[in-house]
Every structure is written in structure tokens, then in C-alpha cells.
Amino acid sequence: MKKVIAQSEIDVNEEGYLLDFQQWNKKIAEELAKEHNISLTDKHWEVIDYIQDKYKNEEPLSVRGIKNSGVLDIKEFYGLFPGGPLKVSTLIAGIPKPKSCI
Amino acid sequence: MKNLLILGAGTSGTMMANHLISKLPKKEWQITIVDQYKTHYYQPGFLFLPFDIYTTGQVKKNGEKFIPKGVNYIQEKIDLIVPEKNKVKLETGQELNYDLLIVATGTKIAPDEIEGMKGPKWHKNIFDFYTFEGAKALRNKLREWEGGRLVIHICEMPIKCPVAPLEFAFLADSYFRNKGMRDKVDITFVTPLAGAFTKPKATEALHYLLEEKGIKEVTDFNIERVDYENDKIIDYADTEVAYDLLVTVPTNMGDALIARSGMGDDLNYVPTNKATLQSRDYENIFAIGDATNLPASKAGSVAHFEAEILTDNILLYIDGKPLKEEFDGHANCFIETGNGKALLIDFNYTHEPVEGTFPFPGVGPLNLLKESRMNHMGKMAFRWIYWNMLIKGIHIPFVSATMSEKGKHFEEIT
């Protein structure tokens, strides 16, 4: 489905995740973050860069990966993206939600 | 004489030895396979062992039986891979040189990764069922357990056979029903993901199973520690889930050998090209099965499909030709839903499991993403197929290494 955000039109799934990473930009991320009552700080951007990097290299994303990344510890990760940090951070970063096989 | 060395004689390694022995010229190539363990386990059977559906004897055999004649089999522990020198060191001090290396060292549970898990209550009221020892200890516990809160839990992804925990929940429901004590057992499924099912089609088609069986879900739960003194698991958001019996799938990690050799990622998996199965760092090293970091399921069926493509690629590599970029992440899994029924799913990197028929388009006899007795019989027959065909590298008729889109109800191709 289509969604208009930050003066651009993006394609998203039922849960609001971007379907095409090419459509993502920083303005969109800021608006998506606002919808989750998050105002993006430098630390948020560091995390977003890290998970986008993982996604581009097709490496699985996990809470452990975050822990070992040296970017931040897990409590901080929860603090930055309350209510399911991987779920929320991937949505803002414009990449798919972590999934299982079914 | 050139040397092809396979590390690990599990499902993947054994299949590769069987494929390659008939393909590589014997005068030019010596194939060697190394594994520290004598026993080859039928790992899908670990799901059934706790419920007394399989016996211990049905899930293990002597591994050497499945290594073909002409392959040099060494039962020793591997100390180190030295890729710069094309050499593998064994614990005995013996060194093996290779021209071509296949890493098939699999994945293991790492309960030490979570504080309090492998403590005094390990295999007392905290169990895994991903090892023979864990599944057997859990069987003994279930035989005498009088009921209470059963919590089935996944620590973190990726795990081997991602649906096994859910199958465990379904089988537990049947097991306690058959024992006439279902009313004494409260079953909760705890996952770090957003749901027990995470893909839209599967959620739509299958969520009823949880409701029908009265299985509760706790989602987005990233475990921080086990409070074994108070029988609770606690996550990073300080959510607590209390249990009387915890059946957990600990963190899965690649073999410590991979970390020691400096060849792994965060979880000791080997960075591998997802279409060719060549390792990303060394052109004469290939990886297969659970040992890779591929974004595919860690499952025997995936290893089976990979093995067919890897065999072709090894032959192409030896001839100095470009590798086939053919592996598409194909997986094909039976999912037990209890009461003698099962589902079948067929999917790959880009296509989620959908409804349809398998393996013959429009005919079946197996139905995709629907519960049936036929699918359950398929899963039961699979143990025979595993020991007699799969690990021997015999092609399973009508099932191709890459996924077929025929006979399936795709709405859109992503």
C-alpha cells in the first residue's frame, strides 16, 4: 500500500515496513520515528547505520549482533527504541522486520 | 594426488562425501572426512524423543556406516584451520593439507550464553531438546511430570529448524491431552520475534492452531537471564515469564573451531556466498549446511538442496570454470501439528510459504500450508528417506534443488 510521508510517497506493507529500501531517506526516517514517539539523536543514527549495513551485507540481524557491534549495549538499545527495539529500529531504518521461516 | 578435505560428518558432510566419491577421478583426488564423534544422529528425531514417539535407538547410528568406501575417514577432534597455508591441524598434532576444503561443522546450542541457564537447574527443570542428551532427559522428565506452567522458549535467532519449537508446543498439547492431563498444563510460547508465525500467509493460514490448542504467545521477548532460583525468565525490557518447566532453544552458534580459526561472524558462522556456497574469504574453501551464515533456514532439506549445487560447483571450480550462482535458499519442511497431522512448507530466499500442492502441481499428493494426515505420514517416512537416501546423496525423485513455483498460490512475487 502507498503512504505519503515527509512529502514523498512510499510503498509499505500492512505493518508499515518499507517494501523498497531505495525509497528510504533520512527525512522519512525522522517522520517514521515520530510516529513511534521517538526523536532521532546521533546515537539513533549510529544504530540505523549499523543495521542498514548488516542488511546490505545480507547478514542476519540479532540482539546479540547489536551487543557485539560496539555501538551500544542492549539496555541502551531498548532505551532508544522502546517496545521491541529490533522491530521498531528496522521499521525506521527502512528494512524488513526480522522473520522466521513461517 | 590432490586432497579434498571435508570437516564434519553430519548431514551435510556425509552427503558431500557420497556425492563426490563418484564424481571425482580417484587417481587424481583423495577425499578425507574428519569428525570427532562416532555417532550420527537423526536430528529431526530429537523433536519426537521427548514424547516417546521415537526411541533412542531410532535416532542414532554409527556414522562410519554412511561414509562411502574410498573416502578416508578420520575420527578425531579438529584443532585449527589455517586457510593461509591450506592446512588443518587435528588435536592429535596430525596435520592435513588440502587443495579444496568443505566446512560442514554445523551449529550447536550454547546455553552458557544466557546467564543462569546452564546452572544448577539445567536438565532438572530447564531443558533443551536440540541435543540427544537434552531430548532424552526431557523425555524422562515428561514421563513423571504432574503438570504446571510449561514454557517453550527461543533465545535468539537464527536457530536450527526454526519451526521445531512451535512443533514442540503442538506435540506437547497432544501429549498431555492423550495422558488426560491437558487441564493441568498451561502452555506458553515465548519468542524474540513478533509472533509464533512471522510471515503474513502463514499467520493467516495457521494462527488458528495456537487458539485451537490453547497455546499462549509472548512475543518480542529478548531474554537477558534465567532466574533459576525463582523459576522465571527475564528479558531486557524487564518482562518476566514464570515457569515450572522451561523448554528452551538456547542460542545457536557455529563450532568453536571456526572462531579459533578466525573464520566466523558474531555467531561463528562462515561468511558464504549465498548463491554459490563458496566462502567469501577464500576461493578454495566452500561451506555448507548449518555452518554457513546464509539467510536460509538451518535445516536438513536446505543442506540436501545445497549439496546438489555445491557438488556441481566443486567440479566447476576444479575445471577452472565460473561457478553456478544457483542456490535460491530452497527449504522444504514438514511441520508436526499434533494429533497425527502435519503441514508441509516449501519456500526459498524470496518466496514465503504459500498454499498449493507438492511435488506435482495441481495433484499433490501433499498439501502445502494445510494440515493433513498425509503430511504427517510424509514426516514419519522421512526418517527412512534420511538414513537410506538423503545422507547417501541419492536424489529424491521429483524434488528439485531449486524451488518450483508451479502448483502454488502466489499472489505476488517479491
Report the percent of chain B where pLDDT is more than 70.
99
Q: Is B335 left (phi over 0), alpha (psi -120 to 50) or beta?
A: beta
Size (chain A), residues: 102
Local confidence band at B259 (pLDDT 50, 70, 90 cut-offs): very high
C-alpha cell at B141: 522428565
Mean pLDDT of B347-358: 88
A52 an active-site residue?
no
pLDDT band at A71 (very low <50, low <70, confident <90, very high): confident
Side chain identity, residue B358: F
Mutual orientation of helices A85-93 and A26-35 as an angle, nearest 10°?
Answer: 140
Q: What percent of chain B has pLDDT over 90?
A: 82
- The reported pLDDT for the residue numbered A22 is 94
Task: Give per-residue pLDDT as tens, A48-61.
Answer: 999 999 888 877 77
Q: What is the mean pLDDT of residues B146-153?
A: 98
- As a 3-state breakdown, chain B gives helix, strand, coil percent values, each rounded to 5, of 30, 30, 40
Q: What is the mean pLDDT of residues B112-117?
A: 96
- Beta-strand pair B100-103/B2-7: parallel
Domains, chain B: 2-108+253-318 (3.50.50.60), 109-251 (3.50.50.60), 331-390 (no CATH)
Distance CA B251, CA B267 (A): 9
Residue A86 has pLDDT above 70, yes or no: yes
Task: Give the per-residue pLDDT at B363.
Answer: 84
Contact at 8 Å (CB) between B353 and B347?
yes
How high is the pLDDT of residue B412?
A: 52
Give the one of A63, A87, A100 whose C-beta lies nearest to B162's C-beta. Answer: A100
What does the pLDDT read at residue A97? 85
Strands of B193-351 (E only): list them.
215-218, 223-227, 232-235, 240-242, 245-249, 252-254, 285-287, 331-338, 341-347
What's the CA gap between B119 and A92, in Å, rounded? 38
Per residue in B268-312, pLDDT (tens digit) is 999 999 999 999 999 999 999 999 999 899 999 999 999 999 999
Interface test mutation site (partner A, options B114, B163, B193, B375, max chain A beta carbons within 10 A): B193
State the complex-level ipTM: 0.78
Average pLDDT value over all residues in chain B: 94
Whether A58 and chain B come into contact, CB under 8 Å, resolves to yes
All residues at 6 or more sequence positions from A34 whose CB lies less than 8 Å from its CB, including other chains: none
Is the pLDDT assigned to residue B413 strictly greater than 50? no
The predicted structure's pLDDT at residue B55? 96
B316-333: buried (b, 16+ CB within 10 Å) or exposed (e) per residue? ebbeeeebeebbbbbbbb
Q: How far apart are CA A78 and CA A88, in angstroms?
A: 10
- pLDDT of res. B411: 64
Predicted confidence band of residue A83 (pLDDT cuts 50, 70, 90): confident
Domain residue limits, chain A: 2-93
Q: Give pLDDT, residue B3.
A: 98
Cβ proximity of B51 and B336 under 8 Å? no
Does position B129 have pLDDT exceeding 60, yes or no? yes
Distance from CA of B140 to the nearest CA of A (A): 30
Q: What is the pLDDT of residues B42-51, one digit of tens each?
A: 999 999 999 9
Interface of A with B in 25-54 (CB under 8 A): none
